[in-house]
Structure 1
Amino acid sequence: MIYTIEKANLISEQLKKFTTGYTHHVVGHYSNIDFWMNEVIEALHTIDNHKKRFDKIYDAQKNWIEEHGTVVHDYCPICNGKCEFGDGKPTLPRLKYKTELADTRKDLIDSVYFFLIRCFRIGVLNNNELYERCNSVGTSIDPNDLIK
């Protein structure tokens, strides 16, 4: 699992716990709403920029290998040494987790959304604040969720 996904999942799990907690617990966590919104926004930014960071890693490794003639031999379990049949060419990283990143992003937005809706329903967040907070993470509001 990559760091980007693990961090976003951790934030999502926390927000889910807050959402389903007792009202007095929700109010307590809401007192730190700026912190949690910043955590969500930063995690979304990290997810959205994953490909750019991956490309930098890929390019740096590729350039190093080419410029320094890097050779990495596979291990041979028979002779307990370098495998004489390998070409020694290091493998470059492969981009994966694209679907997981998208799923994680959606889960994170859903988690913060339902926490915000819970805060709205118990009265610690007004209509304008709810719209503002949802806007900051790029999500709309289901009108049915505004019914208290």
Structure 2
Amino acid sequence: MYTIEKAYLITEQLRKFTTGYTHHVVGHFANIDFWIHEVIEALKAIDEHKKRFDNIYNTQKYWTEEHGTIVHGYCQICNGRCEFSDGKPTLPKLKYKSEKIDSRRELVDAAYFFLARCYRIGLLTSEDLKKRCDSIGTSIDPNDLD
């Protein structure tokens, strides 16, 4: 699913930044606004997935009912239309609930640890750290700041 894949890509980038050499972290910190924006947008996409899914489902259902859409299954024996198919189109099914929850958590964690690393290096003040953590919906563990 696109939403999960996008979150995963951002998560992996932030993990690389967090564990990199200090001079690399400093370089990526120069684009901190971009990365925080990417995190926020990915979180929004995850959170709004159900709404987008409902739009897809309802629109497809309406279309198939209004237009009498018929989709016959394929018969592998005769290589044609399956005579046992009822012709009803298959509507999308909502999946990936646990994957969305996991990808959301991993993304927030990766962003948080990148921010904490930036704080420990001296790139963020405690006020800036709190502000950025608030923007991604996470708190600060004082043990992570030593």
Q: Is residue 108 from structure 1 mapped to residue 104 from structure 2 by the alignment? A: no
Alignment of 1:1-148 (within 5 A): 2-147=1-146
Alignment partners' CA distance in 2, 1:145 and 1:74: 56
> Structure 2: where are the runs of 5+ without partners?
none
4+ runs deviating over 4 angstroms: none
Match of 2:107, SS state, is: helix
| Greater Cα shift, 138-147 or 127-136 | 138-147
1:146, CA displacement in angstroms? Answer: 2.1
1:143, CA displacement in angstroms? Answer: 1.2
Query: Per-residue CA shift, 1:2-34, capped at 9, x if unaligned?
Result: 000000000000000000000000000000000
Alignment partners' CA distance in 1, 2:104 and 2:45: 10
What is the letter of the counterpart of residue 75 of structure 1?
Answer: Y
Query: Per-residue CA shift, 1:109-137, capped at 9, x if unaligned?
Result: 00000000000001111100000000000
Alignment partners' CA distance in 2, 1:146 and 1:121: 6
Match of 1:89, SS state, is: coil
Alignment partners' CA distance in 2, 1:87 and 1:19: 54
For the aligned residue pairs, the C-alpha RMSD in angstroms reads 0.5
Alignment partners' CA distance in 1, 2:35 and 2:135: 12
After TM superposition, the score normalised by the length of structure 1 is: 0.98
Alignment partners' CA distance in 1, 2:123 and 2:111: 15
